[in-house]
Amino acid sequence: MTTMSQPSDVDAAAAGPGSVLVTGASGGIGQAISRALGSAGWCVGVHYHKGKASAERILSEIEQTGGRGALYEADVRHARSVEQMVNAFAQNHPPPLSFVCAAGISGGELVLRLQEHMWAEVMATNLTGLFHCLRAMIPPLLGQGGGSIVVVGSYAGYQGAAGQAAYAASKAGQLGLVKTAALEFGEENICVNLLWPGWQHTKLAEGAYPGKDGWRDHALRRSPALGEVVRTVVHLLQVKDVSGQIWNCDSRLLFL
């Protein structure tokens, strides 16, 4: 079931850059993205599944700084739940609409120790969940003549990650899904891009964050600042002529 708080009455003409729904907004990176978008004048749909208290706090922070938004609850593993959320968002917020897909979970385990239920849970959330989101989000973008979707992925989907088989595989799948959606809907002026945020101090990275000697594959020998990541997301949502691309926000080199 999708629930939402009522957005403030707002004239579409005074809506700023538009409205954006952020899935996974109760998580670490999703929280930062939601705050940045609210500060930049967007009307923010703050999605959560289990982290209602965190989502309420983020919405309160957005509103305290003069921003606007609403809460949305949905389980991305279930198509109907996502459809209800996106439909409610599209009906209750001023266009143009945009989307950020940041919902995800980790599942740290070696291949030989990975239980099928753990594999299925990570895939259902990270990959099938993204499929549900794209399938629900693209129709309202078609209806408004185009728009942007930014997907928060992971470098693990490109390089792999020891002890993170399900997570890395799900993120690799996201890469193919994003590129396919970009190809299928580019002629309709819909931009779909994938962003790799690098290592961030979030709950998702607990137990895996590199130590002081773990930055040798980073040209800058450090992680990217979270502020740099969220500014990139805000920029990507407004780019009109770039789609199907990987935006790597850290200094690891890509050999494609």
Which positions are catalytic? 167
Q: Which residue is listed with tokens 């989101």?
A: 133
- Reported as half-sphere exposure (CB side, CA atoms, 13 A), residue 239 has a value of 17
The span from the CA of 156 to the CA of 158, in Å, is 5
Q: How many CB atoms lie within 10 A of CB 110?
A: 10
Residue 12 DSSP code = G
CB 38 within 8 A of CB 69: yes
Secondary structure of residue 11 in the 3-state scheme: coil
Return the structure tokens found at 144: 């408004």
User: Could you tell me how many residues make up the chain?
Assistant: 256
Alpha-carbon span 78 to 228, nearest angstrom? 32
Contact 212, 244 (CB under 8 A): no
Q: Tokens 């439909």: give the residue.
A: 87
Give 118's Cβ-side CA count (13 Å radius). 15
What does the alpha-carbon distance between residue 189 and residue 241 come to, in Å, rounded to a whole number? 8
